[in-house]
Chains A and B, each alone.
Chain A
Amino acid sequence: MTATDQSHAPEERAAVPMLDVRDLRVNYRGGGRTVPAVRGVSFTLDRGQTLGVAGESGSGKSTMALSLLRLLPSSAQVTGQVLFEGEDLLTAKWARLRAVRWSAASVVFQGAMSALNPVRTIGEQICEPILLHDKVGQKTARARAAELLDSVGLPSRRLGSYPHEFSGGQRQRIMIAMALACRPDLIIADEPTTALDVMVQAQVLNLLGELVRESGIGVIMISHDLSVLSHMCERLAVMYAGQVAEIGPSKQLITEPRHPYTRALGRAFPTIGDPASRLAPAGLPGDPPTPSELAKLNESRGCAFEPRCPEATDACRTETVELWPSGPGREAACLRVLEGSGA
């Protein structure tokens, strides 16, 4: 690969993935108890790659994403490694971390539309990180902001408008423009379209897709909507109870899921026209673990999905389950993938 690589990156950089997350764990402490929200997550991501993270609410998606840039409250205790260009962000100095947050990796937060400052124009708000980080003059920053607004499909004459003058979808696009302000290599988007209508959602996703294709940034996109992710992202990680249940190429995870949870989640989003789902909604009995059930999981053996798993056997309650290879470039945390694999 390296020999034919046309990029200008030095040799040794090409060998290191842009982002390499190893055994990430997050516990929230407080109220006399500890809630393990992320329980050992590992993955890598390169420039120009898109990773979708799916899972139900409380599965730890936001906690995982925010911990990458140490954006969690102080009640959160984070362990593991987050290697960004080979440098561990979990142990990096605050000044260094701040520099990374501005210029190298940025986050579009869940519910961020309300995070815009209501009394400042969006032009001022987009210019702020550019002025601070790029150390350019007002005029250059203004021009850059106009370009950015244009790139998210809003006329640059609206730089002087205030947030309340925009619709929800437009505000979400402004948030994306702000995330792009300092030309990051990585964007983490936490439920960027969840509160939006189908049409507006399609506009925002279309925009994100174009940005990835045109500028080669890496994207981690979080959503509870598996069907949206499978079309936006090359790879997909499905989280359950703070762990990755299955990870691999999106298309394969949808068409041939190996983990029973991925299978159930996939069926929950019907394809219009599919006779199998007509007048036949598919769900999964039971509920995802509550925070206190999560706390117990950490101390027990067996598969976290066992109480709801339609395919569970006795072994599922006693064996230790971890991610096992389940095909080329894929892994699944289910005892069943060991069957017939000779392991």
Chain B
Amino acid sequence: MKPVLEVRDLMVTYPARRGAAPARAVDGVNLQVGQGEIVALVGESGCGKSTLARALVGLVKPTGGQVLSDGVPLGYSAAALKAYRRHTQLVLQDPGGALNPRQNVFDAVAEGPRLHGLTDRLGERVHTALAKAGLRPPEQFAGRFPHEMSGGQQQRVVIAGALALEPSVIVADEPVASLDASVRGEILKLILELRDSLGLSALVVSHDLGLAWNIADRVAVMYLGRIVETGTVEEVLLRPKHPYTRALLSVLPDSGEPPVLLTGEPPDPTSVPGGCRFHPRCPLRAAEQDSRCDGQDLPVLTGDPSASSLAACHLVQ
């Protein structure tokens, strides 16, 4: 299966702040999203998820590697990016911040189409997008302002704005993190429905492993700028290989295992440890004392979607 969206050896390095080294926020990532597939990208705060998501939609220019859409490398001229965004849309975390408080729902959703000159039958386009996002009947919502809607409805408006361009891929960064539990389920259902009815592909960024279980086909676990484990949701979440994935799963309330609490400093992209980048906090290394852990670098995972799971660790394969 040809991926609709792919990154190869992607690097995004932010320039150094005063007195510090440059931040290697994304430090070698291979990842593919197939037609009609939902891939979840999970990992703790600051590991580089949003940076990767922004690079995928062309908002950040990679310092190395490539983003490919339908197999074609992304161009970074204004015209190329504009064309690309019709095809791949970003849905941001925090709907409150993503919407302009003085713009009503119609104008918010119409913004993309207007930017792309799709003003023919604009009303119909906007109403269709609102209905697809579950805001029905659309006429009832079109005139409203953000403060007249709940958080869940605001998030639906943001999704409608993305759908108005009829994209084939959606990159959603924490689309439900700021929503209440009962509303979160409704938005996740919507993402699944859009995949089933429109064949939409999606990369969903989250720190919540339960979200991956709820909606994703495959999952990629990120740590300090790299994917450390990836594969099908069943394989990675039920039979995790990498010590980091194992630790993340063990601290979930329902894990049924003793929690493995990672200690040590939170990961810092301005000083990535040599050898395996997880070695300063790795419980398996502490137990095994293998010299490769801090002495030998690991290759970047290929991200081959046909493998049921891949882990970047010297000791487990």
Chains A and B belong together in one complex: yes
Interface positions of A (Cβ within 8 A of B): 56-57, 167, 169, 197-203, 206, 224-228, 230-231, 264-265, 267-273, 277-285, 287-288, 290, 308
Q: Which 6 A-B pairs have the closest CB atoms?
A: A283-B185, A281-B188, A202-B251, A283-B186, A284-B182, A268-B181
Q: What distance in Å separates the Cβ of B62 from its nearest Cβ neighbour in chain A?
A: 26
Interface residues of B (CB under 8 A from A): 44-45, 150-153, 180-189, 192, 207-210, 213-215, 233, 237-238, 247-249, 251-255, 259, 261-262, 266
Distance A287 CA – B207 CA, assembled complex (angstroms): 24
Least CB separation from A278: chain B residue: B213
Chain A residue nearest in CB terms to B248? A198
Asked if A273 and B252 sit within 8 Å, CB to CB, the answer is: no
Given A198-B44, A199-B247, CB of A287 within 8 Å of CB of B185: no
User: Is the beta-carbon distance between B45 and A197 smaller than 8 angstroms?
Assistant: yes
Residues in B whose Cβ lies below 8 Å from that of A278: 213-214, 233
The one of A57, A169, A228, A279 that contacts B180, using a Cβ cutoff of 8 Å = A57
Chain A residues whose C-beta falls within 8 Å of the C-beta of B249 in the assembled complex: 272
Is B266 a contact partner of A268 (Cβ separation < 8 A)?
Answer: no
Contact A227 B44 (CB under 8 A): no
Contacts of B181 in A (CB 8 A): 56, 224-226, 265, 268-269
Q: Is the CB of B210 within 8 A of A270?
A: yes
Contact B192 A279 (CB under 8 A): yes
Contact A272–B259 (Cβ < 8 Å)? no
Q: Knowing A198-B252, A199-B44, A202-B261, say if A269 contacts B186 (CB, 8 Å).
A: no
Is there an interface contact between B215 and A281, defined as CB atoms closer than 8 Å?
Answer: yes
B252 and chain A: residue at smallest CB distance: A272
Task: Point out the residues of chain B lying under 8 angstroms from A203, CB to CB.
Answer: 261
Most chain B beta carbons < 10 A, residue from A230, A288, A308: A288
A284–B187 CA distance with the chains assembled, in angstroms: 10
Q: What are 29 A-B pairs at a CB distance below 8 A?
A: A56-B180, A167-B266, A198-B44, A198-B248, A198-B251, A199-B247, A202-B259, A202-B261, A203-B261, A227-B253, A231-B253, A270-B210, A270-B213, A270-B214, A272-B238, A272-B249, A277-B214, A278-B213, A278-B233, A279-B214, A279-B215, A281-B184, A281-B185, A281-B188, A281-B192, A281-B214, A283-B187, A283-B189, A285-B186
Residues of chain B with a CB closer than 8 A to A206's CB: 259, 261
Please report the C-alpha to C-alpha distance between residue A136 and residue B11 in the assembled complex, in whole angstroms. Answer: 56
Most chain A CB inside 10 Å of its own CB: which residue of B183, B207, B253: B253
B253 contacts A230, C-beta separation under 8 Å? yes
In the assembled complex, how far is the CB of residue B111 from the closest CB belonging to chain A, in whole angstroms? 25
Residues of B close to A271: CB separation below 8 A: 210, 254
A272 and B207 in contact, given A228-B253, A284-B182, A287-B150 (Cβ under 8 angstroms): no
Most buried by B among A203, A265, A268, A283: A283
Bound together, the chains give a CA A269 to CA B248 distance in angstroms of 16
Contact among A201, A224, A226, A283 for B188, CB-based, below 8 A: A283
Say whether B213 contacts A272, CB under 8 Å.
yes
Q: How far is the CB of B131 from chain A (nearest CB, A)?
A: 16
Residues of B within 8 A of A228 (CB): 253
- Please tell me which one of the listed residues A198, A230, A280, A308 contacts residue B214 in the complex, with CB atoms under 8 A apart: A280
CB-nearest residue of chain B to A206: B261
A170 to chain B: closest residue by CB: B266
Contacts of B248 in A (CB 8 A): 198-199
Which residues from chain A contact B184 at a C-beta distance below 8 Å?
A: 268, 281, 283
Q: In the assembly, what is the distance between CA of A230 and CA of B252, in Å? A: 12
Determine the distance from Cα of A231 to Cα of B253 in the docked complex, in whole angstroms: 6
A199: nearest residue on chain B (CB-CB)?
B262
**Which residue of the partner chain A has the closest CB to B212?**
A272
A100 to chain B, nearest CB (A): 32
Closest to B210 in A: A270
Q: Which residues of B contact A268 (CB under 8 A)?
A: 181-182, 184-185
In the complex, what residues of B have CB within 8 A of residue A308's CB? 182
Q: How far is the CB of A169 from chain B (nearest CB, A)?
A: 8
Which single residue of chain A is at the shortest CB-CB distance from B178?
Answer: A57
Cβ contact of B207, chosen from A198, A280, A283, A290, cutoff 8 A: A198
Q: A198-B251, A281-B188, A287-B152 are in contact. Are A273 and B182 (CB under 8 A)?
A: no
